[in-house]
Amino acid sequence: MTRLATAARTAATHRLFWPALVLAVLVLGNVAFTPNFLHIEVRAGHLYGSLIDILRLGAPLVVVSLGMTVVIATRGIDLSVGSTIAISGALACLVISDQGDQNSVGGVLVAVGLALALSLVLGLWNGFLVAGIGIQPIIATLILMVGGRGIAQLITDGQIITVNSDPYELIGGGYLATLPFSVLVAVVMIAVTAVLARRTALGVLIEATGGNAEASRLAGIRARGIMVMVYLFCGLCAGIAGLMISSNVHSADGNNAGLWYELDAILAVVIGGTSLGGGRFSLGGTVLGALIIQALSTTVYTVGIPPETTMLFKAVVVTIVCLIQSPAFRAKVFGRRPRSTPATPSEPAKIEVPA
């Protein structure tokens, strides 16, 4: 019994414990309202079910949140990911719609390449403003957040561009080997990010830059280069998410595509345990945080919450989640003091020796 209690206390101190517990509670709560919520079946060679829908619809947010995580780890933030999503989808759909054969694989690859290249340029622009000129990240990315919507509407000419391309539909709404292709893309992005961040020195350099940029620069780390790189990566992630979203709905809406995605991505990162103050980050926690956000959206529809109170419901739940994860809040509620760091041994008293 003592060992079990010790194991439970040890598990509760793990940074992924509380996000995983919240996700499990959300899933079990849906089971209470929909008994077959956990049911997964193979239909027409594809996996179907509510859990599959959470993974499929949450894949774009997972990808965007990965980019947001490394940006926040450098003590930055990117408010322009929603606009980048809209621009990426708009450009890809515009190029495909102008083609004589929209089902041409080569034409779709060209459209995807152009959209991702433009997303990288937008990420480079953010990195230049933040690292090159020294503008505060929230202001630098706010410029593109506002202006990017205008760029997306210029690309679409203020209209919703619809496409009918099977190769393009595969990115966000297709299946491969019974699994949603968007989920496979998200898994690949998670794996690549994890390898680069945890199997190379890149993750340490990012955390060092976020912990103290000036100290890392004095230590020989090119902090500016690291900051430009993370904004580039964040732009790429947003561009991929834009392709997923637009291909899933077969259209590009420069006004509404990716709307509020920047806030959901920041929430996912925070819920996952990464501090907004920079430094250490958790990719696993970010993935769980993004799935929590998507599971919460699914819960809204499953429970039948009125649309006019949806945003308020999500705000209340996210607030509860953040409070539960706070050690100081748990200490006050449950009467436990947070674990204090052991005191450093005091220096031995100097003894005066008479001559």
Residue 307's pLDDT is 67
Residue 352 pLDDT grade (very low, low, confident, very high; cuts 50, 70, 90): low
Average pLDDT of the chain to the nearest whole number: 86
Q: Is the pLDDT of residue 325 over 70?
A: no
Q: What pLDDT, in 10s, does the model give residues 231-283? A: 999 999 999 999 999 999 999 988 888 888 998 999 899 888 888 888 889 99
26 vs 111, more confident: 111
Region 82-88 average pLDDT = 95
Residue 355's pLDDT is 47
Q: What pLDDT, in 10s, does the model give residues 247-258? A: 999 999 888 888
For 281, the 3-state DSSP assignment is coil
Q: Is the pLDDT of residue 347 over 60?
A: no
Q: Is the pLDDT of residue 44 over 50?
A: yes
The H helix count followed by the E strand count for the chain is: 15, 6
44 vs 128, more confident: 128
pTM of the model: 0.86
High-pLDDT (> 70) share of the chain, %: 92
Region 108-117 average pLDDT = 96
**Count of beta carbons in the 10 Å neighbourhood of residue 8:** 10
Region 143-167 average pLDDT = 92
Residue 338 pLDDT grade (very low, low, confident, very high; cuts 50, 70, 90): low
Residue 354 pLDDT grade (very low, low, confident, very high; cuts 50, 70, 90): low
Residue 16 pLDDT grade (very low, low, confident, very high; cuts 50, 70, 90): confident
Phi, psi (deg, nearest 5) at residue 143:
-60, -50
- 58, 60, 205, 214, 279 from 55: Cα distances, Å: 5, 9, 31, 40, 28
**Count of beta carbons in the 10 Å neighbourhood of residue 247:** 28
